[in-house]
Copies of this chain bind each other. A is one copy, B any other.
Amino acid sequence: MNNLPRTNTARLAQQIQFVIELDKLKTVLRQTLLTDASRRENSAEHSWHIALMAIVLAEYSPVPVDVLRVIKMLLVHDLVEIDAGDTFCYDLQHNDSKSDRETEAADRLFGLLPADQAADLRSLWEEFEAQQTADAVFACSLDRLQPLLNNQQTQGGTWKANGITCDRVLQRMAPIAIGAPELWEFVQQLLEDCMTKGFLEPEREETQGMSGGA
């Protein structure tokens, strides 16, 4: 980082340093392709997309959600990937070590902020991870729905590239059944449609834990 000039307060210096650090999330690539299939999506633009989805789709939560809390949660939910990287959701092996890597990342990243703000944003991240509140479950539903749409738009993009079958996608999308039941019906129809069109394969007879390419 280029040195910054002195700020009036140590608090502002910490906040500006955090803001500059955020930029790195733009270089963390996910497996998902953009809808035009031109490149992989990064975690910063993904976070923007689902934050805006929270506004547009809030009415589908079966219980009222606090939209500001949901948006804040979604804006910070992937920050830990700056240090821990994005772990492909269907990669069972690397998901084993994910929690430890991400906790360490959270210590460093939220630790850049003044203590009150660090505690506030970290607790939102932890709430998202724990999936025990209505806000967190709805937020998670959007985090699952967006790559589904992108995979549909790219004719099976990540699924086809990694041999992911419909049963595994359905399992991954399960939070939507609770967080946004009306959307769950749409998700099931979409997956049926993707199978009909050959964008997605049905369950294989012998499912192996994690196929080499996935």
Interface residue ranges, A against B (CB under 8 Å): 1-2, 4-8, 12, 15-16, 18-20, 22-27, 34-36, 38, 41-42, 44-45, 47-49, 51-53, 55-57, 67-68, 71-72, 75-76, 113, 117, 121, 146, 149-150, 152-153, 155, 182-183, 185-186, 189-190, 192-193
Contacts and interface: CB of A to CB of B under 8 A. Distances in A.
A57 B15 contact: yes
A18 B36 CA distance: 15
A51 B35 contact: no
A53 to B, nearest CB: 6
B149 A20 contact: yes
A35 B45 contact: no
A31 to B, nearest CB: 15
Contacts of A42: 45
Nearest to A3: B193
Given A42-B45, A57-B15, A51 B75 contact: yes
Nearest to A55: B72
A51 B49 contact: no
A75 B56 contact: no
